[in-house]
Structures are given as C-alpha cells and as structure tokens.
Amino acid sequence: MVTNDKKINDLFLFWLIFSLALVFFIILIGGLTRLTNSGLSIIEWELISGILPPFSQSSWEFYFDQYKTIPQYKLINYNMSLKEFKIIFYWEYFHRTLARLIGIFFLVPLIFFYFTKKINKTYINACFIILSLIILQGVVGWYMVKSGLTQDVTVSHYRLSIHLIIAFIIISILFWVIKNFKIKKNKSFFNLSQKNLPFLFLIFFIFLQIIFGAFVSGLDAGKIYQTWPKMGSSYVPNDFNMANLNEVINFNNHSLVQFYHRNLAYFIVIYILILSYYIYNKNLDTLFTPLKVLFSILLLQIILGILTLVSGLNIYLASAHQISSVLLVFSAINLYYFRAK
C-alpha cells in the first residue's frame, strides 16, 4: 500500500514539474507577444476585471479606443482596424491570463504543502522564494508596459530585460529544486568553491547574454545588419566610435547592442570549449554526458540565432531562438549540478 508521505511527495514533484512547464510556456507566449508588438494592446493593469476578454462590440470598441490614445497607435498603427487590433489584444490577453494562472496554481498548492508539513522545509522555503518572484514579476510586467504608454512606441528595453531575466530566474530555481527533490539532495546553488566557479561563471555569461538578447528584442536591433558573420561590410559596425567610452556603454545604440550580443555568443562558445578541455583533462567522467547535451543545445542556439538574423527576423525562428535559450540555461545548470556537492 502506498504511504501518505509518498503520495504527498509524488504530488509535490508533479506540482513542481507542471509549474516549470507553465513558466516555460509563458516565456514562449511572452516572446511571441513581443515579436508581434502586442504588449501595449491593453493599457490598464486590470488584475481582476481583466480576467474575461471583451464579448460585446461596445467592449471591444472601448479597449480599441484606449489603445488609440498611446503613441504606438498614433505613430505606427494609425491604420489598424478593429479586426487587426483583436489579434494583438489576444496575444497580450493570453499572456496576462497565463500569468494569473501561474500565480494561483503556485500559491494554492504551496499553502497546502506548507501546512501538511510533509515536505522538507528547505524545498518549501525555496518555493516561497519562487512565489515572491512570481508576484514581483507581475509588478515588473506592469512597470514595463507603462514605459510604452506615454512617449515611446514600445516598452523600455531595460524594463523588458528585467522582466525576462526574472522569468529565467524563476524557471532556473524550479529546475534546481526539482533536481534536488528527485534525488533527495540539498545541493546549494551558491557554493562558491574554486572548483564550482568556472561553471557558475558559465551560467552568469549565459544570463548576461539573455539580457543583451532582450536589449536586441526591445530595440528591434535585429532589423539592422541582417548579415553574418559581418555586420554589413565589416566586423564592427561603422556607426559608432569604439574609442569613445560613452559610445561603448551606450546601450540605446541599436548597432552596439547587436554587436555585443553577437560577440558575447562567440565568447560563450570559446569559454565552453575551454571548460570542455578542463573537464576532459581532469577526467571528470560524470560531466561527459551533460557536457554533450550542453554542446548540442549550444549548436542549436547558434544556428537558430544566425537563421533568425539572415531570415529578416522570421517570427518562428525568433521564437525558437528564445526558447532554445531556456534549454541552454537548463543544460548549463544541469552540468553545474553534476559538479556541485
């Protein structure tokens, strides 16, 4: 007969895995919302009242009239019909609805698991951190939307990067907790020992690359220099001065942001090659398989990145490129997990 403790443990693991799948899905939907320029279609937060979509013609016209007041409509979409507006509205609506679902789906079971006292407190505490980040993510999401309602035709790429990186932190913590729970371990992520640092640096570089990817997306910087390996006719774009410090750190410069995104990708490839040499030279055989997985996903990410660029930002390729970045994070964390004690 299956014990009650085992049932609770199985339920807890299922809940974590399903939560991870939901966060994975909302990253996909969020990326498509950005790629379709749909994020500003709903200009109010409407935490409760916006649960149901518009059903009547008057409701649709009300939302459309609200959208007409912002710069994105006035400067870009002034010829948009109500039918076209409904498309971008539903992208943002699904994004917000899924966010609400994740919040409720995570909160209610967590309260249950907390009061059963059947789950190790370490895992429960990690889940409360995740819950706090989910709540913070909702606030940051609205903070991001507000940046595109008054003066800009799109959201701030800085706020977009914060919104995206929080999502990656949430899904990374979920992934780590799942791995710990499945093998009944309590490995600490922030174990800053000398042997762990090279693997932690790798994860840091990938997260930094995700931030620059958000900059590229937020600025639509991929729409210029759609050539590879050169940017136009040269390796370095010719519209900024590398000798000027202010220009080097000007992350509003579309060309510069794309240049950094490209070159950080090259750096990560070289770094992983060096890390691979270290692993094989030290004969760390437990890392061989996770390293091969990392290499495979890295290769996929590079191919998708190049194809996205030269295709003129094909939406399917761009979405696949973003989703493969989640898999790249998983594979890097997985490699580190086998190294951590």
Domain final position from 154, 186, 218: 186
Q: Are 61 and 82 in contact (CB under 8 A)?
A: yes
Are 2 and 151 members of one domain? yes
Q: Are 114 and 124 in contact (CB under 8 A)?
A: yes
**Residue indicated by tokens 């210029």:** 224
pLDDT for 243 equals: 67
**Once rounded to an integer, what is the mean pLDDT over residues 333-339?**
95
Q: Cα–Cα distance between 76 and 161 in angstroms, integer? A: 23
pLDDT for 15 equals: 97
Q: Cα–Cα distance between 250 and 237 in angstroms, integer? A: 14
Q: Are 258 and 231 in contact (CB under 8 A)?
A: yes
Q: How confident is the model at residue 327 (pLDDT cuts 50, 70, 90)?
A: very high
pLDDT for 198 equals: 95
Domain final position from 125, 159, 186: 186
Q: Long-range contacts for 206-209 (Cβ within 8 Å, ≥24 apart)?
A: 206/268, 206/325, 206/328, 206/329, 206/332, 207/165, 207/168, 207/329, 208/264, 209/261, 209/264, 209/265, 209/268, 209/325
Are 200 and 149 members of one domain? no
- What token pair was written down for 220? 């639509």
- Collapsing DSSP to helix, strand or coil, 73 comes out as helix
pLDDT for 3 equals: 53
pLDDT for 224 equals: 87
Average pLDDT, the chain: 92
Q: Are 231 and 272 in contact (CB under 8 A)?
A: no
Q: Which domain holds residue 232?
A: 187-341
Residue 2 has pLDDT above 50, yes or no: no
Are 135 and 157 members of one domain? yes
Are 47 and 167 members of one domain? yes
Are 67 and 207 members of one domain? no
Are 148 and 193 members of one domain? no
Are 65 and 211 members of one domain? no
Are 148 and 200 members of one domain? no
Are 35 and 172 members of one domain? yes
In this predicted structure, which of 53-67, 71-85, 239-253, 262-276 has the lowest mean pLDDT? 239-253
Q: How confident is the model at residue 1 (pLDDT cuts 50, 70, 90)?
A: very low
**Once rounded to an integer, what is the mean pLDDT over residues 165-179?**
97
Are 227 and 146 members of one domain? no
- Residues of the chain above pLDDT 70, percent: 98
**Total domains in the fold of the chain:** 2
pLDDT for 236 equals: 86
Are 334 and 201 members of one domain? yes
Read off the pLDDT of residues 288-321 as tens digits, 9 standing for 90 and up.
999 999 999 999 999 999 999 999 889 999 999 9
The amino acid occupying position 81 is S
pTM: 0.94
Read off the pLDDT of residues 232-280 as tens digits, 9 standing for 90 and up.
888 988 777 766 667 788 899 999 999 999 999 999 999 999 999 999 9
- DSSP code for 71: H
**Once rounded to an integer, what is the mean pLDDT over residues 277-287?**
94
Domain final position from 146, 169, 186: 186
